[in-house]
């Protein structure tokens, strides 16, 4: 795409703007050349519907930035936790993945799990990246092939118990792994790249 834009005379600012659109909306930008030379260059945006979410985003911690992979706080452990209150009936006793989802979204520092938190909303990832400045864009279509499980918080936790509903959090789990496969990460970018757009 970059070469096609350069050939059409688009400057760096326009290319960066288009890259920002691609990152914000998680959509590809296709460059379409018309048959006539004098005709303008056309750009097509393919913005996915919410149900067609193609990417998840994660603000990276320093150890993840250094190694270039997602690392859970309790690597290699089963993704389960015990019942914690408050709860909403009906409820399940004993250890379960549902309780781990609740603990992870409640406070992953106080209740670490083998999952990592992500969001389908780039704006929320930007909020969490204020300190370390790096965000990973994760391809949803690569997760299953890499053995990564997904737990959408809203499907496992009652709405009244979700601490940050704006995150629309999706917890990723790679059973038994010390870290997640690098192949799920499409790109790691700096927060400054987004703000420059």
Q: In the chain, what are the domain boundaries?
A: 2-45, 50-195
Q: Would the pLDDT of 46 be above 60?
A: no
Q: What is the pLDDT of residue 159?
A: 82
Q: Would the pLDDT of 51 be above 50?
A: no
Residue 131 or 42, more confident: 131
Q: What is the pLDDT of residue 47?
A: 46
Mean of the per-residue pLDDT values for the chain?
78
3-state secondary structure string across the chain? CHHHHHHCCCCHHHHHHHHHHHHHHCCCEEEECCCCCCCCCEEEECCCCHHHCCEEEEECCHHHHHHCCCCCCCCCCCCCECCCCCCCCCCCCCCEHHHHHHHHHHHCCCCCCCEEEEECCHHHHHHHCCCCCEEEEEEHHHHHHHCCEEEEHHHHCCHHHCCCHHHCCEEEECCCCCCCCHHHEEEEEEHHHHHCC
CATH architecture for residues 50-195: Alpha-Beta Complex (3.90)
pLDDT in tens, 53-68: 799 999 999 999 999 9
Q: What is the pLDDT of residue 5?
A: 57
């Amino acid at each position: 795409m970059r070469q096609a834009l350069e050939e059409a005379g688009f400057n760096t600012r326009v290319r960066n703007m288009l890259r920002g659109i691609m990152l914000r909306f998680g959509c590809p930008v296709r460059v379409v050349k018309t048959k006539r030379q004098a005709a303008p260059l056309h750009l097509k945006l393919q913005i996915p519907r919410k149900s067609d979410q193609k990417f998840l985003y994660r603000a990276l911690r320093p150890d993840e930035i250094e190694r270039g992979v997602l690392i859970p706080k309790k690597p290699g452990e089963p993704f389960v936790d015990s019942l914690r209150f408050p709860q909403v009936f009906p409820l399940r006793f004993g250890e379960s993945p549902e309780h781990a989802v609740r603990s992870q979204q409640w406070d992953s520092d106080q209740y670490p799990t083998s999952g990592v938190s992500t969001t389908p909303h780039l704006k929320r990832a930007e909020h969490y990246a204020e300190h370390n400045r790096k965000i990973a864009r994760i391809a949803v279509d690569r997760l299953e092939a890499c053995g990564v499980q997904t737990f959408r918080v809203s499907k496992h936790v009652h709405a009244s118990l979700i601490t940050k509903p704006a995150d629309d959090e999706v917890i990723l789990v790679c059973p038994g792994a010390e870290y997640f496969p690098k192949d799920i990460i499409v790109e790691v970018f700096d927060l400054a790249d987004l703000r420059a757009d």
